[in-house]
Amino acid sequence: MHTILIIEDDAGINDMLRVLLTQNGYKTVSAYSGTEGLLAHSDDIDLILLDLMLPGKSGEAVIKDLKKKKNVPVIVTSAIHDVNKKVDLFLLGADDYVTKPFHNEELLARIAARLRSAPAEGSAKRGDRLTYKDIVLDKSDHSVTCRGTEIELSKHEFALLELFMESPGRTCTKSRIYDTVWEYENSADDNTLNVHISKLRKKLKECDPDTDYIETVWGIGYRLRK
């Protein structure tokens, strides 16, 4: 069972997160300031939910210290929407960012995805290899095969497929795709996404002409076909 450290000074939100995570099979440890979070971070912690607006040391100030103590995924939660601010957080070492107010299902999906790709003690990354039907994606060497044939994918095509395979059957909204695959780049738009989806579908089709792997959920996003 994974243990998640919640660093959130709002007692109501901290308690809500604790209940949500406990109900979904996680152990939790709660802290209410950056300093308390650093003290609570230990070898038992597998992931950290970090609020930015903390008393004393801010979330930005403690990210590097948390990573230095034990390098586990850090998901930042904040009401801040500024793109440059989000980019700065990734440069500081944050692994993901969820804007408040968030949907519980999205938060749980992001937690599960980060835990699957988190480094395991004394081994390569946990969840390096993802499989879906005849597709095998290996994050350790950035390779993809379909029905045994290797496929050459661009950086964004690979990231798209990885996102879909981490949540098979779940619809990935366009906003989530932009945030995850393009990491808040201003260049990402519907046309860019459509082009990359089309190229990815074509490459998969060349290896497996009888199967359509990616389906469009009109007006919402994309997902792997069930």
Sign of the alpha-carbon dihedral angle for 185, 92, 30, 121: positive
Question: Whose CA is closest to 110, among 179, 11, 10, 33?
Answer: 179
Rounded Cα gap, residues 114 and 161, in angstroms? 16
pLDDT the model gives residue 115: 85
Query: Residue 59: what pLDDT?
Result: 74
Q: CB-based contacts of 126: which residues, under 8 Å, 6+ apart? A: 115, 116, 117, 118, 119, 120
Q: What is the CATH number of domain 3-116?
A: 3.40.50.2300
pLDDT of 169: 73
Question: Which residues of the chain are under the pLDDT cut of 70?
Answer: 80-87, 117-127, 183-188
Q: Hey, what CATH topology would domain 129-224 get? A: Arc Repressor Mutant, subunit A (1.10.10)
For residue range 45-72, list pLDDT tens digits in order.
999 999 888 887 777 778 888 888 888 8
CA quadruple 113, 116, 122, 123: dihedral, nearest 10: -120
pTM value is 0.53
d(CA 14, CA 32): 8
Domain ranges of the chain: 3-116, 129-224
pLDDT at site 44:
87
- Helix H, strand E, coil C: the string for the chain is CCEEEEECCCHHHHHHHHHHHHHCCCEEEEECCHHHHHHHCCCCCCEEEEECCCCCCCHHHHHHHHHHHCCCCEEEEECCCCHHHHHHHHHHCCCEEEECCCCHHHHHHHHHHHHHCCECCCCCECCCEEEECCEEEECCCCEEEECCEEECCCHHHHHHHHHHHHCCCCCEEHHHHHHHHCCCCCCCCHHHHHHHHHHHHHHHHHHCCCCCCEEEECCCEEEECC
The per-residue pLDDT for 190 is 84
